[in-house]
Amino acid sequence: MNKEEIINALPFTEPFLFVDEIMTINEKGVQGSYTFRKNSFFYAGHFKDNPVTPGVILTEVMAQIGVVCMGIFLLGKKEVEIRPKIALTSNQIDFYLPVYPGEKVIVESEKIYFRFNKLKCSVRMLNEKKELVCRGEIAGMIVGE
């Protein structure tokens, strides 16, 4: 399964699709990017006169790239029909730097385990200066229909 097929198989659409590119993906991990649009809906109220990307959105970006794209890749390798149902089961994220409108981030994810359709990954997000924005672990259930 190629990178574009994985992105097309994601169960998200605008304004809640947070994957622009998958740079690398294999059995061990994935690296992808997303650039935050200056007119994204969540900036209007977070924060008034000083827009900052909410932590829950940063977590969602890491989940979409680091867990969902990875899960689709792994399921695709098993030749499972790709229309996944996804449920986030747990996450623990530490935040270090803010992300502002227009910034590009890189997500790097390493598979911890994939068994019984549960995928757990160690994820981290870097800004374009290669500074650590946030990191942690995210797990989700990925099940083909």
> Tell me, what CATH number does 104's domain have?
3.10.129.10
Percentage of the chain with pLDDT > 90?
A: 74
In contact, 117 and 78? CB cutoff 8 Å: no
Query: pLDDT of 85-105, one tens digit each?
Result: 667 777 899 999 999 999 999
CA distance 45 to 56: 14
How many other CB atoms sit within 10 Å of the CB of residue 61? 23
Query: pLDDT of 120-131, one tens digit each?
Result: 999 999 999 999
User: Looking at the 3D structure of the chain, how many domains does it have?
Assistant: 1
- The residue behind tokens 């797990």 is 139
Which domain covers residue 110, as residue numbers?
3-143
Residue 76: per-residue pLDDT: 80
Query: pLDDT of 48-63, one tens digit each?
Result: 889 999 999 999 999 9
In contact, 33 and 107? CB cutoff 8 Å: yes
How many other CB atoms sit within 10 Å of the CB of residue 47? 9
Catalytic residue among 3, 46, 120, 135: 46
User: Has 46 been annotated as catalytic?
Assistant: yes
Q: Is the whole-model pTM more than 0.85?
A: yes
